[in-house]
Amino acid sequence: MRTRGKLRFAWISGPAVLVVAMMAPQSWAATAGSDVRVTTHDIITSDPYGLATPPTDVLQQNEPSIAVHPANANVIAVGVNDVRTVGISDDAWQGLAVSTDGGASFAFETLIPGYPGDTSPAGLASPVRGNAAASDPWLGFDAAGNLYFSFIAFQRTPPGQPSSTVANALAVAKYHISAAGAVTYVGTVVVERGTVGLGQQEDKEALAVDRGTGRVYVCWARFTGGQNHASVEYSADGGQSWNASQFSGPQSDINNMQGCNLAVAPNHDVYVSWRTFDNNPSISNPNDSAIFVARSTNGGATFSTPRRVATFVDYRQTAGRTPPRFRVFADTTLAADANGVYVGWHGRSGANGADVFISRSKTNGQTWETPVKPTGGAGGHQIMPSIAAAGGTLSVIWYDSRSEPAFTASGPVTGQCPAGATTGAGCTGMDVYYNQADTTPTSGARSRRSRPSSATTSAWRRTRPPPTRSGRTTGT
């Protein structure tokens, strides 16, 4: 359900920024920071992959998630899909890196215990030991400095009748990180086990932590046969045990969905978002893909009847080598502060290809304003946004292809890098852009920002091309 009320966002034009640079104190104008390489250590020294001199890591990492310590903003944790296990498992695992200097460097690196070949006591005791791969990292701190790291461990080609009791699991690893950055592994707990090969698989989870109550929330898509169902669970004891949430209303079983996200409001209400799929995504029709949000006021025990925020036509592309391209489809990104709830996604935007959309609710998720674009109507594709709300500011970053050499609205994104490239130098076609909005009421203290009069594209100031290459990540 949508409303057409005034959307009083005041977006500040800003070039691309590396995510770790966003941890600095807020200013009125966004500036681009320098790229910082997070993973530099050759953790698996028995394989042939590595350099004799730093940085010794020569393998890849992707799908980063970032979290900032509640007591010291210079302590930053980053979780990644980590290919440094490829020499022992022919697959990726989960890596954790921690910075104590505001993201300037990451001296601490480790793999989540239980990876193939892990003979440490923690690895041998891990409930996910026995899986060949792990993916989908998602991080969040509680107020005491406990870091919760959710992920999915699995067998990529499971047998038809899995006999292992540890294969395929949605799990949460817990670390305690002091305000000085000292890291201690606490343990890993399985939230739900799948039965891949017998018809159940967990996928694309998200995690949120309520720093006021200590509750931890996880959502994911549970695939059962050909259906995918929205699932949410919560922990009230620091991640030791997990309880299933229930959806209210006539459709208590949410299916045909993917790309869930979670956000906790200052009043401890928790929101969950997801998108549904259109069976004919190439054209606009009554069965368009849609964005939904539901709210819980009782710590995740039950969620309200989901509200439809908007319909959209998805921008998708499949992975391939000719031309080089990566897999893309729309997920949701969610944030909340004292001034509202915000949900973002990407979708097709006519001749502009793909664009980013954000909608706000000032009625606790009951009604939603007409979506607006933070991208300034730039050319190229704008995809895979991530948003965060704090201190009266809504921040958004996204992948942006306005520099690609051969744009077509139908895609795919045609980014190119020089042969053998290990940095973004010389690459074209894919940058990360940033913008921000004031979420405070118009009578608030930040009146010096311009305030648009309606929810139209004129509400967004045009973003500028980046003066430097940006970081390859969309985690805010």
20 shares a domain with 148: no
Q: If you average pLDDT over each of 14-18, 195-199, 223-227, which comes out highest?
A: 223-227
- So what's the pLDDT on residue 427? 84
Q: Bridge-partner residues for 123, per DSSP? A: none
* Residue 201: how many other CB atoms lie within 10 Å: 21
Are 288 and 232 a contacting pair, CB within 8 Å? no
Q: Give dist(CA 319, CA 440) in Å, integer.
A: 41
- So what's the pLDDT on residue 113? 98
468 shares a domain with 385: yes
- So what's the pLDDT on residue 469? 32
Tens digit of pLDDT for each residue in 337-386? 999 999 999 999 888 889 999 999 999 999 999 999 999 767 889 999 99
259 shares a domain with 139: no
8 shares a domain with 47: no
323 shares a domain with 468: yes
179 shares a domain with 135: yes
Asked which of 145, 163, 193 is the last residue of a domain, the reply is 193
Percent of the chain scored above 90 by pLDDT?
A: 57
63-72, 145-154, 230-239, 316-325, range with the lowest pLDDT: 316-325
Q: Is there a domain that residue 204 lies in? A: no
Are 63 and 142 a contacting pair, CB within 8 Å? no
Q: Is there a domain that residue 199 lies in? A: no
Q: Is there a domain that residue 151 lies in? A: yes
Taking Cα atoms as reference points, which of 226, 318, 234 lies closest to residue 268? 234
- So what's the pLDDT on residue 256? 78
Answer yes or no: pTM beyond 0.85.
yes
61-75, 134-148, 163-177, range with the lowest pLDDT: 163-177
Percent of the chain scored above 70 by pLDDT?
A: 79
Tens digit of pLDDT for each residue in 146-170? 999 999 998 876 555 555 666 789 9
219 shares a domain with 171: no
Arithmetic mean of pLDDT, 205-224: 94
- So what's the pLDDT on residue 159? 54
Q: Is there a domain that residue 127 lies in? A: yes
- So what's the pLDDT on residue 459? 36
Q: Is there a domain that residue 205 lies in? A: no
249 against 143, higher pLDDT? 143
Q: Bridge-partner residues for 435, per DSSP? A: 396
283 shares a domain with 411: no
Q: Is there a domain that residue 203 lies in? A: no
- The CA-atom distances, in angstroms, between 11 and each of 379, 399, 448 are 18, 18, 12
pLDDT at residue 234 tops 70: yes
Q: Is there a domain that residue 283 lies in? A: yes
- So what's the pLDDT on residue 404? 86
Instruction: Give residue 79's identity as a one-letter amino acid code.
Output: G
- So what's the pLDDT on residue 447? 26
Q: Is there a domain that residue 289 lies in? A: yes
pLDDT at residue 6 tops 80: no
Q: How many domains does the chain have?
A: 3
pLDDT at residue 8 tops 50: no
pLDDT at residue 457 tops 60: no
394 shares a domain with 290: no
346 shares a domain with 259: no
229 shares a domain with 178: no
Q: Name the strand (E) or helix (H) holding 148.
A: strand 146-154
Asked which of 313, 330, 364 is the last residue of a domain, the reply is 313
pLDDT at residue 17 tops 80: no
Asked which of 247, 279, 313 is the last residue of a domain, the reply is 313
437 shares a domain with 402: yes
- So what's the pLDDT on residue 19? 33
Cis peptide before 324 (omega within 30 of 0): no
Residue 332, exposed/middle/buried by CB under 10 A (0-12, 13-18, 19+)?
buried
Domain that holds residue 297: 210-313
- So what's the pLDDT on residue 420? 76
- So what's the pLDDT on residue 291? 95
Tens digit of pLDDT for each residue in 393-452? 999 999 999 888 888 888 888 777 888 777 778 888 888 999 999 998 863 333 222 222
Arithmetic mean of pLDDT, 90-101: 97
Q: Give dist(CA 42, CA 133) in Å, integer.
A: 18
- So what's the pLDDT on residue 334? 98
Band (284; pLDDT cuts 50, 70, 90): low
